[in-house]
Amino acid sequence: MTAVQGGRTPKVLHVSPEAVPFSKVGGLGDVAGSLPAALRDSGTDCRLLTPAWEGVLDRARELGFSLSRLSRKAEAVIRWKIHRGTVWKCSGEGLVAYLLEEPSLFGKTVYPRELTPDSVTPFLFLSLAALDLPSATLWKPDIIHCHDWGTAPLPAALKWHIHFGSSGDVCKTVFTIHNLAHQGLLSLESLGDWGIRNEAARVEGMEYFGMANLMKGALVSCDAITTVSPGYAEEILTEEGGEGLGGLLKSLSGKVSGILNGLDDRYWDPRTDPLLPERYSPDNLSGKTACKKKLLERAGWKDDGRPLLVSVGRMVEQKGFSILLPALEELVGMNCRLFLVGSGQTEYEEAADSAAARFPGSVFVFRGYDEPLAHLAYAGGDFFLMPSRFEPCGLSQLISLRYGTVPIVRAAGGLRDTVFELGTPGGNGFLFSGYTPEDLLEAVARAMEVFRDKDSMQLLSLRGMNADFSWNRSAPLYKKLYESLLL
């Protein structure tokens, strides 16, 4: 353990709108729950603050976490109203978390459809209450680590808030971009609602095409920016991948770094996964064959030796559905079977359903998300398809590798940091570059050649299973970053 600041290891508070096992909307939830636990494992006093959305306290109790209510509440003033949140200290599963309960703000759904002065209030409260948290917990972090736009008001408040911005607080901030496509836009006038000084409304501050951009405010004011893969860290500095903030990020590149997400390998492990009908390991893959059989049964199919391509994820443009769906007919023509799990944009859902209706023996769509079925799909597929238009990191390809299901992915962001073309060093899957159905089909054609050769296919699948994509690789990089901020 490296000691800094007079012999102490850094005290770090992670703040996230979602975190497993309490809440999860997407990959951010997985990372915000598993990273603080991994950092604690490696000796950092790392804790988490996340809202007690409806049902979260009950879930924590059911999971056997120990919960105690702190006597003092965390407070923040937003639009002339004092909001007070009850702070629950919650420990278990290697995690120390503070669950912030304020039922009038943290209700059923995590993210609003549209950002308005009302719908943004839970996120402003989470961010400002984090700064008031030490008065309730008597534990003062050296570093606050924020995740995505929902916690972007926090670093901004340390710079421009009428109270926190002049309190002489020396707390450092890290801001992690999980997805630059969601930035949090509000009217400039609304900045005053949460105590932000006028100077923040300038172009050097949060101003963005006449609006206030929360993400921009955090980027400008935090001490370090990280994103979830080295590949995405390069892409966001460009006009093409910067989602309108590429120029700004380039000018801030001295404080930008990419650290690959880790997989919670205790949860995602085909040797022990309780949601699989049969478990398996690199030494004995027979359970994987059984999983394929079960997955085929879910579609009403029998194993006829054809390759099974699976996809698990939101049916949205980011995930590449605008090139996957037009390729379905040809994929069927190439003798592939496809099992898709997910829901999302209506046009993609409808196109997927109509392909399933046209090719009932080859395309199956499960609309929605079902955790046991997702596990079965990761385990039962021969190949995992992820043709993302952009992908900050992507966790699905890491899960599929661990489950021996060979990934076929577009070379974007974190996908190109984790999947390597067969025949190149570390080759564990198939990649394509152009964002077109033709490029995708070419990669699948290469995969089909390997599928025909049972031994090569097995070797490829084992290579994925034996690789380490856990936090063991990445947690030390965060630790190093924290230590460098406190020097």
Q: Give the interface with ligand GLC as residue ranges (CB under 6 A).
A: 26-28, 31, 178-179, 228, 261, 391-395, 414
Phi-psi category of residue 186: left, alpha or beta, with phi > 0 → left and psi -120 to 50 → alpha? beta
Least spacing, CB of residue 31 vs ligand GLC, in Å: 5
386 Cβ neighbours under 8 A, 6+ residues apart: 311, 313, 319, 320, 394, 396, 397, 407, 408, 409, 410, 415
Phi-psi category of residue 302: left, alpha or beta, with phi > 0 → left and psi -120 to 50 → alpha? beta
Residue nearest to ligand GLC (CB): 27
Least spacing, CB of residue 17 vs ligand GLC, in Å: 12
3-class DSSP state of 109: coil
Q: Are strands 363-367 and 406-410 parallel, antiparallel or unpaired?
A: unpaired
3-class DSSP state of 34: helix
CB closer to ligand GLC out of 173 and 261: 261
CB closer to ligand GLC out of 235 and 382: 235
Least spacing, CB of residue 388 vs ligand GLC, in Å: 8
CB closer to ligand GLC out of 397 and 461: 397
Least spacing, CB of residue 423 vs ligand GLC, in Å: 26
477 Cβ neighbours under 8 A, 6+ residues apart: 259
Least spacing, CB of residue 192 vs ligand GLC, in Å: 31
CB closer to ligand GLC out of 9 and 179: 179
Least spacing, CB of residue 261 vs ligand GLC, in Å: 5
* Dist CA 117 CA 32 (whole Å): 26
3-class DSSP state of 389: coil
CB closer to ligand GLC out of 99 and 386: 386
Least spacing, CB of residue 156 vs ligand GLC, in Å: 21
3-state SS string for 165-207: HHCCCCCEEEEEECCCCCCCEEEHHHHHHHCECHHHHCCCCCE
CB closer to ligand GLC out of 193 and 417: 417
Neighbours of 425 (CB within 10 A): 6
Residue identified by tokens 């079977």 is: 337
CB closer to ligand GLC out of 25 and 63: 25
